[in-house]
Amino acid sequence: MNPLVLSDADYKAVFERITQLALEYVASVGDQPSFPKITGSETEALFAKPLPEQGMGNCSLDDLDRVIEFVRVTSPRFLGYVLGSGEPIGAAADLLASVLNQNVTAWRSSPSAVTIERVVVGWLAEAIGCTGFSGSLTGGGSSANLMGLALAREARVPANECGARPGTVYASEQIHMSIPKAIALLGIGRENLRLIPCDDNFRIRVDLLRTSVERDVRAGLTPIAIVGSAGTVSTGSIDPLPELAEVARESGAWFHVDGAYGALAAIAEPAKFAGLNQTDSLSLDPHKWLYQPLDCGCLLYRDAAAARRAFSHTGDYAKSLVDDPVEGFAFFEETIELSRRFRALKIWLSLRYHGLGNFREAIRNDLTHAQLLAGLIAKQPELELLAPVALSAVCFRYRSRNDADRECDALNQEILQRVVRRGKVFLSNATIHGSFALRACIVNHRTTPEDIEQVVSEVLAVGRELSAG
Which residues, numbered 19-38, are part of the site for a second copy (CB under 8 A)?
19, 21-23, 25-27, 36, 38
Answer for which of 71, 305, 378, 404 binds a second copy (CB under 8 A) is: 71
Whether 18 and 64 have beta carbons less than 8 Å apart is answered as: yes
Count of residues in the chain: 469
Q: Which of 105, 400 has the CB closer to a second copy?
A: 105
Number of chain residues interacting with a second copy (CB under 8 A): 174
Do 273 and 128 form a contact (C-beta atoms < 8 A)? Answer: yes
Select from 34, 75, 142, 212 the one that contacts a second copy (CB under 8 A): 142
Residue 101 burial (10 A CB sphere; 0-12, 13-18, 19+): exposed
| Per-residue binder mask for a second copy (CB under 8 A), 249-278, x = binder | ------------------------------
Phi first, then psi: what are they for 190, rounded to 5°?
A: -65, -25
| 294 part of the interface to a second copy, by CB under 8 A | yes
In the complex, least distance from residue 398 CB atom to a second copy, rounded to whole angstroms: 16
Q: Is the CB of 190 or the CB of 215 nearer to a second copy?
A: 190
Fill in the per-residue mask, 298 to 327: x = in contact with a second copy (CB under 8 A), - = not in contact.
Answer: -------------x-xxxxxx--x--xxxx
**Choices 157-165, 211-219, 241-249, 380-388 (CB under 8 A): range interacting with a second copy:** 157-165
- Which one-letter DSSP state was computed for residue 292? P
Residue from 67, 9, 77, 76 nearest 43 by CA: 67
466 belongs to the binding site for a second copy (CB under 8 A): no
Per-residue interface string for the shown chain with a second copy, residues 371-410, x marking contact by CB under 8 A: ----------------------------------------
H helices of 380-448, where? 405-422
Contact indicator for 135, 147 with CB cutoff of 8 Å = no
Q: What is the DSSP string of 10-71?
A: HHHHHHHHHHHHHHHHHHHGGGS-SS-S--HHHHHHHH--PPPSS--GGGGGTTHHHHHHTS
Give the integer Cα–Cα distance in Å for 344 and 147: 19
String of contacts with a second copy for each residue 419-438, x by CB under 8 A: ---------xxxx-------
Site for a second copy in 208-247 (CB under 8 A): 233-234
Q: Of residues 66, 249, 433, 464, which one binds a second copy by CB under 8 A?
A: 66
- Indicate the SS3 state at residue 436: strand
For a second copy, which stretch binds (CB under 8 A), given 8-16, 206-214, 268-276, 397-405? 8-16
Shortest separation between residue 159's beta carbon and a second copy, angstroms = 5
Q: Shortest Cβ distance from residue 242 to a second copy (Å)?
A: 26
Among 55, 242, 252, 375, binds a second copy (CB under 8 A): 55
Given candidates 173, 358, 378, 405, which one binds a second copy under the rule CB under 8 A? 358
Write the DSSP assignment of 145-198 as a string of letters: HHHHHHHHHHHHS--TTT-----EEEEETT--THHHHHHHHTTS-GGGEEEE-B
CA distance 315 to 280: 28
CB-wise, 166 or 242, nearer to a second copy? 166
d(CA 125, CA 148): 15
Comparison of 30 and 252: residue with beta carbon closer to a second copy: 30
* Binding region for a second copy (CB under 8 A) out of 61-69, 242-250, 404-412, 453-461: 61-69
* Tally of helices (H runs) and strands (E runs) in the chain: 15, 11
Which x/- pattern, by CB under 8 A, does the window 75-114 give for a second copy?
A: -----xx-xxxxxxxxxxxxxxxxxxxxx-x-xxxxxxxx
Pairing mode, strands 297-301 and 134-138: antiparallel
Q: Which amino acid is at 82?
A: V
Chosen residue from 297, 370, 408, 412 binding a second copy by CB under 8 A: 297
- Tell me how far, at minimum, the Cβ of 345 lies from a second copy, in Å: 7
Residue selected from 31, 162, 271, 402 as contacting a second copy according to rule CB under 8 A: 162
CB 261 within 8 A of CB 289: yes
The answer to whether residue 57 forms part of the interface with a second copy (CB under 8 A) is yes
